[in-house]
Amino acid sequence: MRVNQGVGEHVLHDDWNLTEGITMANEPICIRRTSTVEEADIICGWLAERGINAEVSDRNNPGVFAFGVTDVEGIAICVPDAQTAEKAAKLLDEHDRERAHTADGPSMPVDVVCDGCGETCSFPDEDRGTVQTCPHCEGHLDVPGKSEA
């Protein structure tokens, strides 16, 4: 029974499951799909560090294209049983929430010295990579992007 096939989403009931969510013995359960084999390997390693045995099930999938990029369904990360699937899904959900919180956390202002007047001007993080006006002399300032800072 296919419930969820999105890339990067949790998939607890996949093609390996029978109708009504009953899993056949010794059949792996797909817990997540990724867009690359490399990403799947990183997630499997992260789960292994937390005591969960997960494997990339379709590493040799004919849908895997050059450079490890795959088709729309993505690369499946699987665990051996439903109990492990629930534990892995919980850990991955917690990790995703922490990453989202960190990404949305407080931004750091960027300071730029104006070439026209020599004054230091502070701009919010979201202004990185843009041209702004100096509040002191009204000259144009290039606010560097994150990779330029």
pTM of the predicted protein model: 0.49
pLDDT at 51: 95
d(CA 124, CA 143): 10
Q: For the segment 96-148, what is each residue's pLDDT rounded down to a tens digit?
A: 888 776 655 556 788 999 999 999 999 988 888 889 999 999 999 999 887 65
pLDDT higher than 60, residue 21: no
- Secondary structure of residue 61 in the 3-state scheme: coil
What are the C-alpha distances in Å from 115 to residues 40, 86, 110, 134, 138? 47, 57, 16, 10, 11
